[in-house]
Chain A
Amino acid sequence: MELQAVLMAAGGGSRMTDLTYNTPKAMLPVGNKPLIWYPLNLLERVGFEEVIVITTKEVQKMMSMDPKIKVEVKMKLDVVCIQEDGDMGTADALRHIQQKIKTDILVVSCDLITDVALHEVVDLFRAHNATLAMLMSKAHEFTETVPGQKGKKKTAEQRDFVGVDQSGQRLLFMANEADLEDGLSLRKSVIRKHPRMHIRTGLVDAHLYCLKKAVVDFLSENKSISSIRGELLPYLVRKQFSKTSPLNSEGEAAKFLFLMLLCVIRTFMVRAQELSCWNDHRGDMSEAYHGGKLRCYVHILEQGLCCRVNTLAAYIEANRLAPKLFEEPAVHPSSVISERCQMGSDSIIGALCQVADKTSIKRSTIGNSTTVKEKVKIANSIIMHGVTIEEGCNIQGSVICSNAVIGRGADLKYCLVGSGQWIEPEAERTNEVIVGTDQLMEI
């Protein structure tokens, strides 16, 4: 077997607590499908037959009940539950399932929605015998107004600095702005080996990694690493250019040597490489890959959809773009739409909905089992499941979470209505986050 897929679905959605305090992030509806369905679909399309899903008990229960996942996902899902409140990072989760991992792994996050040709990432991993291959994409500006955002969008959200070589594939440098004190320092050894480096800041990490099995074994020995993105990746990228001298401090060197030993370089690859007349760089006297055994590659997606749904803005954007990925009818056959409803072409209506007359729905997503009464205007909004919208409402640019009730005549502009909330009739709210008081107490 070549690759095992691991889906990380235990994340709490810490950056969009308003949406996730009732529904776990993995099950948030995007385009009327649970968020976790998108990476599962990606893996299935590409040909995986089994996926190890690391998630919480709550998500597992919801997944088993969700029709979309039960019916449409044909792969075998091996669900591993971990404690929700435990402070388990992604690397800790990998350590937890170390027994199940028999071969190289493909780690995917549950909040990734993309139409990337996955073979591009995996080809880098295969062809160069890389330790790590990851996917990054050009970040797109979010154009939609985010409900509840006071003032302009916060700029400089902790940029990532990613250094790639001339071909744009080899990963040379990775650091987050938060870790850099006053400047970006590059090691001389890196510059000597790769004199031309492109440093890019506008990239979004898709959290899709191909890792060698040796890395997982290394993690099990090295218990101090708890996050893949935050700690493991920068470590691997740094260690590409590290000298394997035992003169360094004992613990560090030992751990690193362990990793190197585990990256078993099969002798035949070395022999074939020696005989081959290929080199990945030119201009200096060293052999291919500078003789380095640890290699990290990145595939940067210039065009195409790749978004990670971890903030509210991203969630809204995803709802806008995700339906375009699939050719599905805009209106679910089981829902009842009256003829006098004006529905825009880029709106989606879920199953078992009831939409009454004289309603206008533009550029919106309406979830399952939602009731929309007469004379309602919905524009640029996301309505989740089980919502009741009474007559005469005007909803613009808002996100209404599941099981909310919007009283008649309410006028909501750019609001976020939490789960199960009740908006009183004739309410006029603009740019507000309306959530329950019990949620407000959670810090």
Chain B
Amino acid sequence: SKEEKQRLRKEKKQQKKSKEKKDDKESHVSSAPPAVPAPVSNSVPASEVAVATEKPTKSKAELKAERRARQEAERATKQTKKGEPGQQGATGKPKAPPSELQPGMVKRLSEHVQVDDPDVLKKLAKKLERQQIPLRSDYGYKVSLFSHLHQYSRKAPPTQQLSIPSTVIHPAIVRLGLQYSQGIVAGSNARSVALLHAFKQVIRDYTTPPNEELSRDLIKKCLFYYMNLFPLKKFVFFLINVTYRVFFNTIIFLIFPASAKKKRFAKSKLLTSIEWYIKEKIILAATAIAHSSIEKISDGDVILVYGCSSLVNNILCEAYDKQRKFRVIVVDSRPRLEGREALRRLVQKGISCTYVLISAVSYILPEVSKVFLGAHALLANGYVMSRVGTSQIALVAKAFNVPVLVCCETYKFCERVQTDSFVSNELDDPDDLIVTRKGKTQLAGWQQVASLGLLNLVYDVTPPDFVDLVITDLGMIPCTSVPVVLRVKNVDQ
């Protein structure tokens, strides 16, 4: 009938449009570069647009939002190809970037890592080559369950193929990548701070090329550096979240007041906003969290901590300063043995500590009254992503009915959803697992043994059932309230 025909015609139009949009997207959502998480692609458009919506283009954005939502739905149904990495998770946010930022210019990064797909790898190699970034090759045999992730060796540093006075990539970024890969800057807060400061350096040294606009070119450059960091550094996805929020909120804010005077101050504004972000979201948040956690620490407590979390160490040191009487049990695990550093800091302060390895956790738990854990990120479904081993501790603690408190700043909250530790994780250098005792290295020839694979995971996710409380700078919330916080934050922005 006529209506049917009309409907069909409409659908065809829509399909055409969505196809165009899809092609457009795929040109810049090019396939699975290594270790790029959702928030990258999500928050780029999200924050771009989020800020755009502050400005008078609100209604347009809303319309675009509806259209985009429809396209997402259609694309979801059309998806047949395995690991279509170009997919962007459906977000409720309007994705249309402000008119000044052409999406084609900005190379977006995909959320899924898909290393075992050769097409994906080829595309990635081509993309990196275009940008003159050397491709870092994987090392060693990968356990099949994790073969979709990258595995790099520490002996093949990312700077091997870079030119030494690195001109393509800003030297601060190269230094950052190097420090990440060698583990000199380790721990989520440290990495965030280092990343933000490296970008401050980049901005300071940045000069607008003559034909470009400050904001557009700067964003292009920053995204370029992000892309560089992925082969260089390890997978720290929420950091991207962090910096995108900082950057694009401010950069895009500066686009619209396009007067020349404002542009001159644009750089300094950017720098101060980054400073402000660090001060408020990391340092002050730590103070706030320490303040609230001290109420949870009572005299005579035996507190269990795992690994080295700067936040938890801070809390314990503050509590000690406030004359609380407690003792700490530091649980450590190979191969990183980060607990030694935590132990050193606590003992230096004067806190009495016990040190065990994770294999002894179930023996020591009957003594413990509380467990304090740090987090790398808090996912939208309430799962806690943290150092590998955390979920074990939480599980055993639950079995012993010991309360588990996770301390996490709100900037680590992430819109991502993950229920297992396989989908996206990080594989560290497998040679770290090899140990030499008394001159003998048992696993020295592990590569020759065909049926042997070494797996060195870095992160794991802890389900919210094991976590009793999350202490954030906004207060103490249950694990399942994370999406609420995220929603509130986004509304604020």
The CB with the most chain B CB atoms within 10 A, among A106, A275, A277, A279, is that of A277
Q: A2-B171, A122-B159, A272-B194 are in contact. Are A46 and B164 (CB under 8 A)?
A: yes
Q: In the complex, A4→B167 CA distance in Å?
A: 12
Are the C-beta atoms of B165 and A2 separated by less than 8 Å? yes
Tell me whether B318 is interfacial, beta carbon within 8 Å.
Answer: no
Are the C-beta atoms of A268 and B185 separated by less than 8 Å? no
Tell me whether A48 is interfacial, beta carbon within 8 Å.
Answer: yes
Q: Given the complex, which residues of B lie within 8 Å of A49, measured CB to CB? A: 165, 167
By secondary structure, the A interface counts as mixed
Are the C-beta atoms of B163 and A123 separated by less than 8 Å? no
Are the C-beta atoms of A282 and B164 separated by less than 8 Å? no
Tell me whether B153 is interfacial, beta carbon within 8 Å.
Answer: no
Q: In the complex, A4→B348 CA distance in Å?
A: 42
Q: Given the complex, which residues of A lie within 8 Å of B307, measured CB to CB? A: 277
Tell me whether B86 is interfacial, beta carbon within 8 Å.
Answer: no
Query: Which of chain B's residues 178-192 have a Cβ closer than 8 Å to chain A?
Result: 178-179, 182-187, 189-191
**Residue in A46, A122, A127, A274 whose beta carbon sits within 8 Å of that of B179 in the complex:** A127
The CB with the most chain B CB atoms within 10 A, among A4, A119, A266, A269, is that of A119
Tell me whether A128 is interfacial, beta carbon within 8 Å.
Answer: yes
Tell me whether B65 is interfacial, beta carbon within 8 Å.
Answer: no
Interface string of A107-140 (1 = CB under 8 A from B): 0000000000111001100111000000000000
Q: In the complex, A1→B207 CA distance in Å?
A: 13
Tell me whether A276 is interfacial, beta carbon within 8 Å.
Answer: yes
Q: In the complex, A275→B193 CA distance in Å?
A: 9
Q: A268-B197, A273-B190 are in contact. Are A117 and B308 (CB under 8 A)?
A: no
Are the C-beta atoms of A119 and B162 separated by less than 8 Å? yes
Are the C-beta atoms of B164 and A275 separated by less than 8 Å? no
Interface string of B135-167 (1 = CB under 8 A from A): 000000000000000000000010110111111
Q: Given the complex, which residues of B lie within 8 Å of A123, measured CB to CB? A: 157, 159, 178
Tell me whether A47 is interfacial, beta carbon within 8 Å.
Answer: yes
Q: In the complex, A272→B192 CA distance in Å?
A: 8
Query: Which of chain A's residues 199-246 have a Cβ closer than 8 Å to chain B?
Result: none
Q: In the complex, A218→B222 CA distance in Å?
A: 35
**Residue in A126, A278, A282 whose beta carbon sits within 8 Å of that of B178 in the complex:** A126
| A269, chain B: closest CB distance, angstroms | 8
Q: A47-B164, A277-B308 are in contact. Are A127 and B347 (CB under 8 A)?
A: no
Shortest beta-carbon contacts, A-B, top 9: A47-B163, A277-B308, A268-B197, A276-B190, A2-B171, A275-B190, A272-B194, A275-B310, A275-B189
Q: In the complex, A247→B27 CA distance in Å?
A: 66
Tell me whether B431 is interfacial, beta carbon within 8 Å.
Answer: no
Can you list 17 residue pairs at the A/B interface with Cβ under 8 Å? A2-B171, A2-B174, A46-B164, A47-B163, A119-B162, A122-B164, A126-B159, A126-B171, A126-B175, A126-B178, A272-B191, A276-B187, A277-B186, A277-B307, A277-B310, A279-B340, A285-B344
* Tier of interface size on chain A: 20 to 34
Tell me whether A260 is interfacial, beta carbon within 8 Å.
Answer: no
Query: Looking across the interface, which residue of chain A has its beta carbon closest to that of B160?
Result: A119
**Residue in A46, A126, A127, A285 whose beta carbon sits within 8 Å of that of B163 in the complex:** A46
Are the C-beta atoms of B186 and A47 separated by less than 8 Å? no
Q: Given the complex, which residues of A lie within 8 Å of B184, measured CB to CB? A: 127-128, 276, 278
Q: In the complex, A117→B156 CA distance in Å?
A: 11
Q: Given the complex, which residues of A lie within 8 Å of B100, measured CB to CB? A: none
Q: Given the complex, which residues of B lie within 8 Å of A3, measured CB to CB? A: 164-165
**Residue in B166, B194, B347 whose beta carbon sits within 8 Å of that of A285 in the complex:** B347
Tell me whether B285 is interfacial, beta carbon within 8 Å.
Answer: no
| A213, chain B: closest CB distance, angstroms | 13
Tell me whether A61 is interfacial, beta carbon within 8 Å.
Answer: no
Q: Given the complex, which residues of B lie within 8 Å of A122, measured CB to CB? A: 159, 164
Tell me whether B468 is interfacial, beta carbon within 8 Å.
Answer: no
Q: A119-B160, A276-B187 are in contact. Are A268 and B193 (CB under 8 A)?
A: yes
Tell me whether B200 is interfacial, beta carbon within 8 Å.
Answer: yes
Q: A268-B193, A282-B340 are in contact. Are A275 and B187 (CB under 8 A)?
A: yes
Are the C-beta atoms of A271 and B193 separated by less than 8 Å? yes
Q: Given the complex, which residues of A lie within 8 Å of B186, measured CB to CB? A: 276-278
Q: In the complex, A266→B201 CA distance in Å?
A: 11
Query: Looking across the interface, which residue of chain A has its beta carbon closest to that of B387?
Result: A277
Q: Given the complex, which residues of A lie within 8 Å of B338, measured CB to CB? A: 277
Tell me whether B342 is interfacial, beta carbon within 8 Å.
Answer: yes
| B449, chain A: closest CB distance, angstroms | 26
Are the C-beta atoms of A119 and B341 separated by less than 8 Å? no
Q: Given the complex, which residues of A lie within 8 Å of B347, measured CB to CB? A: 285
| A382, chain B: closest CB distance, angstroms | 32
Q: In the complex, A282→B336 CA distance in Å?
A: 13
Are the C-beta atoms of B348 and A285 separated by less than 8 Å? yes
**Residue in B165, B174, B182 whose beta carbon sits within 8 Å of that of A1 in the complex:** B165
